[in-house]
Amino acid sequence: MQDKDLITLIKENAEKGLLELMNRYLGLVYSVVRGSLAGIGSREDIEECASDILLELYNNIDRIDLSRGAVKAYLCTIAKRRSIDRYRLLQRQPHAEQAEEAELVASGPCCEDTLIESQTKELLVSSIRSLRAPDTEIFLRRYYLRQSTCEIAKALHMKGNTIDKRISRGLAKLKTMMEGLL
């Protein structure tokens, strides 16, 4: 089923369409949220956030424009932003654990775009895409989904130290390609 068929299904049969949306993308959304909230969010926080993201897309199905991006791109974009909102919320709670990346994420995901210009991000994306297979997927898993070496190794049927080695080499390549922009 293509994305356009999924959208049509949601519009024509909301319940069936929502189930199909979950069947297809729940795992992906969950992975993004879990990676973003690791160390600070409870299981309940992660599941609540994931469910809100899928509902947000479901409730805004009329606004999806597939010429701008696939459904998974919409979901991941929403997931990143909602996860960071949730991260900030949790940080303000008294017993929330301080995670290593607290300062990094709290510095703002979307509102200081002057710091990292759009062109820089475009170059970063194209640079990651230009890495030799399977390095693109390794980078996507490590730095977008924030999976551990062990998780990546298991998913790609590779050894852990091979993953680390490829990341190290890939970072060096990216550094060259980005010419000091990051």
Partner 1 sequence: MTEDALRMALNRLSLQQTDELLEGFDSKRPISAKATARIKGRIMQKAGFHRLKAVYYTHKALVLAASLAIVLAAVVLLNLNPLVAAIDRFFNFIPGYGIQENNAQILYALKDPVTAESETAVLTVTNAVATKDGVTVYLTLDRKASGAGAAESKQEKSSSNGQPDDSQNIRLTVDGRQYVSSWRLHGSGYNEVYELRFDVRGSSLTGTSRYTLAFSDYHIHCDFLLVPTSHFDFLDEIGPTQMHNNIWLTATSSLQDGRLRVELYPVNKTGYTLIGFKNLFNLKPYGKDLYLQTDKGDKSYTAPDLFGINYCYDFDVSDGAQGWVLKTPGMIVQSNETQDITLPIPDEGTQKAVNKKIRLKDATVTITSVTQATDNDGHKALKINLSYQNAHENQQLIGVDFARVDSNGHEQSCGYSIESDASQKICAIDFDIEKQDGHTLKLRLDRPQYVFTDEYSLALNQSR
d(CA 5, CA 176): 42
**Min dist. Cβ of residue 103 to partner 1 (A):** 9
Residue at token pair 């929403």: 78
Interaction mask 56-95, partner 1, x per CB under 8 A: --x---------xxx-xxx-xx--x---x-----------
Among 8, 18, 89, 102, binds partner 1 (CB under 8 A): 18
Binding to partner 1 in span 157-176, by CB under 8 A: 157-162, 165-166, 169, 171-175
Q: Count of residues binding partner 1 (CB under 8 A)?
A: 80
**Min dist. Cβ of residue 87 to partner 1 (A):** 10
- 11 vs 132 by CB, closer to partner 1: 132
Among 48, 88, 91, 96, binds partner 1 (CB under 8 A): 48
Query: Do residues 140 and 130 touch, judged by C-beta distance below 8 A?
Result: no
Binding to partner 1 in span 129-148, by CB under 8 A: 129, 132-134, 137, 140, 143-146
**Min dist. Cβ of residue 149 to partner 1 (A):** 12
Classify the C-alpha dihedral 68-72-73-79 as positive or negative.
Answer: positive
Among 4, 39, 60, 110, binds partner 1 (CB under 8 A): 110
Which two tokens mark 56?
């947000």
d(CA 5, CA 2): 5
Among 4, 11, 42, 121, binds partner 1 (CB under 8 A): 121
Phi, psi at 22, each rounded to 5°: -65, -45
Amino acid residing at 40: I
Q: What b/e readout covers 76-85, taking b as 16+ CB neighbours within 10 angstroms? A: bebbbebbbe
